[in-house]
Chains A and B, each alone.
Chain A
Amino acid sequence: MEKQLKILKYSDLSKLIEKFRSQGFPVLAPVRKGKVVEIEQVQSLDEIALDVLLSTQSAKKAAFPKVEKVLEYTLEKSGTKQFPVDPADYKETILFGVRPCDASGFKSLDAIFGEEPKDQFYLEKKGKSTIISFSCPVADEYCFCTSVGGGPGNTAGSDLQFTGISKDEILVEILTEKGEKLAATFSDLLTDAGKDIDKSKFLADVKVVFDVDGVVEKTTASFNNTALWLEQSLRCIGCGACAFVCPTCACFDFQDEQNTKKGVRLRLWDSCGFSLFTLHTSGHNPREVQSQRWRQRIMHKFAYMPEQLHVVGCEGCGRCSRACPVDMNIKEHLTAIAQI
């Protein structure tokens, strides 16, 4: 659909949240919790931290939570009875105040979970989420969205995008039919915007640091470059912080928790950085050392995903680098790969 431009007053934001709430939509937004910023369900505007650069974790948990029940079952003499979770029961949700890299991160997740067999748990949740992103007025040294095809005002994946254009006014871009449907519920707060607003003036300046096609090409060719992966990952301690804050990492594990009478099947986040991730029952581990796991992380995002799903599995949000306890900086490592 053709993009529509509207103006919303900052002073009406709180009314906007009230409207969403009164229609029964859960609103998920960034909330400050000490030093971390979580994406959580909120009741009113004052809870929302709109001034933060980025939430600590990405918005993916709205459609792909860290723990997700997919099945309940009972163990009876006559056999096992299953009570699957019905994705149709998920509620329409609004993701509010996330960043463009969060919204575009869902494109990668859509590609991964949309492959056959389709993942109904994710797709239903995602399908029922309306994403209102806020473009970025500031960036930091970990941001590199423009190097992976995104940008501080990238609208990919967003249904609506808000950009602050003065201290009183927000430019509202209505980008999808879902966005249009939601905007119709608060049309009384919107006025028409002139066509000549130059949004780029209000966006952070994020320099392009590498050519993504070059990185894809060189990553693909570097599988056997063991020295490269070892050198980059010597300080990696093999935790899952990078994967768990990442907007596009989608690996998961299933675990059953049961007693003698009943149980639940849970889907949980997992990470290729863990040694256990590839450990075989025999004791053999095809990714025996951390450098092989680091290679997997980079190759998955910059070689396998472009090849198989036609998307680069990185949004350049830099969350992994900020969260890394030992300063594995992905922007720096990708820049080094680009220079091979």
Chain B
Amino acid sequence: MSDLIKKVTALLNDKTINAFIGYEKGSADRIRAIFARTEDQAQKLVLNAFCTQNLAGYLMKHEVKKLGKLGILANVAALRSIMQLASEFQIKDGEVYVLFANADGSLTEFTDFKSIETFLQTTDTGIKSEEQEMIAKLESMTVNERWLFWNKEFEKCIKCYACRAACPMCYCHRCTTDVNQPQWIPVASHELGNLDYHLMRAMHLAGRCVNCGECATACPMDIPLNLLTYQLINPIKATFGATAGMKADAMYALSTYKPDDKENFII
């Protein structure tokens, strides 16, 4: 029996948690989320290199919350999501029991936000090198080339909203796209509707995106949506000195005023 299964079984048995969000074997070679509430379900937990999904989004799902006190197997992106959700008053300290799997397979437990913050300070939270290359490529384009690149990508969009549903930070009960009086974003999946939707979503994630890449992974039409929000990470950092998902009590850069904020972007 793996350490993870032993640990989760113990947590369930002593009622520390009622449900544990982890990974199980899925269809074909896929891995998927499991919500273990019993010893039998805990037996299905797996831990391997394919366990990459950021499970933190499930902490915001109504029916998952209803399962009781939750435990979660968090990767770095999930830890950062939890920090960001905490700073947005969506999760309280101690509300979720967090396990992190180290590279050697050993488990680290986090019972409070402070310990997650400390851990993240010495952890690589950056975006992957291949994604950095793509961003560098986008940034080296002229405005017109970049416009054409994104328009071509958005042509594929079918507005299934898988990106929004998969994003741990898209937890609004009523998304701007769902508001129709007034209608801010055209509902149709046509050129303007797709563009408006993705730009709006990127703007709402500016300074909040924890670069987990779930939006791009979720997209059935293979649109590299993560690049859109990743591109906003550096400007926010350079302008406000803020990085999302590193602290549980961070003030959101774009809705916080400080007297010494740079104002050179205001024309």
A and B are interacting partners? yes
Whether B32 contacts A326 by the Cβ 8 Å rule is yes
List B residues 166-194 near A (Cβ within 8 Å). Answer: 166, 178, 186-190, 193
Whether A235 contacts B166 by the Cβ 8 Å rule is no
Q: Which residue of B lies closest to A245 (CB)?
A: B220
CA A142 – CA B30 in complex, angstroms?
A: 12
CB distance from B190 to the nearest CB of A (A): 5
Whether A237 contacts B61 by the Cβ 8 Å rule is yes
CB distance from A282 to the nearest CB of B (A): 14
Whether A56 contacts B220 by the Cβ 8 Å rule is yes
Whether A239 contacts B161 by the Cβ 8 Å rule is yes
Whether A240 contacts B161 by the Cβ 8 Å rule is yes
Q: Check: A221 CB closer than 8 A to any chain B CB.
A: no
Pick the contact of A239: B32, B166, B190 (CB < 8 A).
B166
Whether A269 contacts B189 by the Cβ 8 Å rule is yes
Task: Count A interface residues, CB 8 Å.
Answer: 43
Task: Count B interface residues, CB 8 Å.
Answer: 39
Q: Which residue of B lies closest to A319 (CB)?
A: B220
Q: Check: B218 CB closer than 8 A to any chain A CB.
A: yes
Whether B222 contacts A34 by the Cβ 8 Å rule is yes
List A residues 93-129 near B (Cβ within 8 Å). Answer: none
Whether A238 contacts B28 by the Cβ 8 Å rule is no
- CB-defined contacts of A243 to chain B, threshold 8 Å: 160
Q: Check: A67 CB closer than 8 A to any chain B CB.
A: yes
Whether B35 contacts A238 by the Cβ 8 Å rule is no
- CB-defined contacts of B33 to chain A, threshold 8 Å: 234-235, 326
List B residues 186-204 near A (Cβ within 8 Å). Answer: 186-190, 193
List A residues 227-255 near B (Cβ within 8 Å). Answer: 230, 233-235, 237-241, 243-245, 253, 255
- CB-defined contacts of B61 to chain A, threshold 8 Å: 237, 290
CA A276 – CA B176 in complex, angstroms?
A: 12
Q: Which residue of B lies closest to A35 (CB)?
A: B222
- CB-defined contacts of B166 to chain A, threshold 8 Å: 237, 239, 325-326
User: Which one of B31, B34, B35, B159 has the highest number of Cβ atoms from chain A below 10 Å of its Cβ?
Assistant: B159
Whether A329 contacts B188 by the Cβ 8 Å rule is no
CB distance from B87 to the nearest CB of A (A): 23
Knowing A57-B158, A290-B63 are in contact, say whether A255-B27 is a contact too (CB < 8 A).
Answer: no
Q: Check: A66 CB closer than 8 A to any chain B CB.
A: yes
CA A35 – CA B53 in complex, angstroms?
A: 20
CB distance from B183 to the nearest CB of A (A): 8
Interface string of B3-28 (1 = CB under 8 A from A): 00000000000000000000000111
CB distance from B72 to the nearest CB of A (A): 13
- CB-defined contacts of A329 to chain B, threshold 8 Å: 26-27
CB distance from B157 to the nearest CB of A (A): 9
Pick the contact of B187: A253, A291, A332 (CB < 8 A).
A253
Whether A327 contacts B189 by the Cβ 8 Å rule is no
CB distance from A260 to the nearest CB of B (A): 14
Knowing A235-B35, A239-B164 are in contact, say whether A66-B221 is a contact too (CB < 8 A).
Answer: no
Whether A327 contacts B220 by the Cβ 8 Å rule is no
- CB-defined contacts of A245 to chain B, threshold 8 Å: 220
- CB-defined contacts of B30 to chain A, threshold 8 Å: 327
Q: Check: B217 CB closer than 8 A to any chain A CB.
A: yes
List B residues 21-72 near A (Cβ within 8 Å). Answer: 26-28, 30-35, 53, 57-58, 61-64
Whether A244 contacts B63 by the Cβ 8 Å rule is no
Q: Check: A141 CB closer than 8 A to any chain B CB.
A: yes
Interface string of A28-63 (1 = CB under 8 A from B): 000001111010000000000000000011000000
Q: Check: A271 CB closer than 8 A to any chain B CB.
A: yes
Whether A240 contacts B156 by the Cβ 8 Å rule is no
User: Which one of A33, A234, A332 has the highest number of Cβ atoms from chain B below 10 Å of its Cβ?
Assistant: A234
Q: Check: B254 CB closer than 8 A to any chain A CB.
A: no
- CB-defined contacts of B27 to chain A, threshold 8 Å: 141-142, 321, 327, 329, 332
Q: Which residue of A lies closest to B167 (CB)?
A: A237
CB distance from B153 to the nearest CB of A (A): 10
Whether B189 contacts A36 by the Cβ 8 Å rule is no
Q: Check: B165 CB closer than 8 A to any chain A CB.
A: yes
State the A residues within 8 Å of B (CB): 33-36, 38, 56-57, 66-67, 140-142, 230, 233-235, 237-241, 243-245, 253, 255, 257, 266, 268-269, 271, 274, 276, 289-291, 321, 323, 325-327, 329, 332
State the B residues within 8 Å of A (CB): 26-28, 30-35, 53, 57-58, 61-64, 156, 158-162, 164-166, 178, 186-190, 193, 214, 217-222
The 10 nearest A-B residue pairs measured at CB: A325-B218, A239-B165, A327-B32, A239-B162, A323-B220, A240-B160, A237-B165, A327-B26, A241-B160, A35-B222
Could you jot down 6 A-B contacts, CB within 8 Å?
A: A66-B159, A141-B27, A255-B186, A326-B32, A326-B53, A332-B27
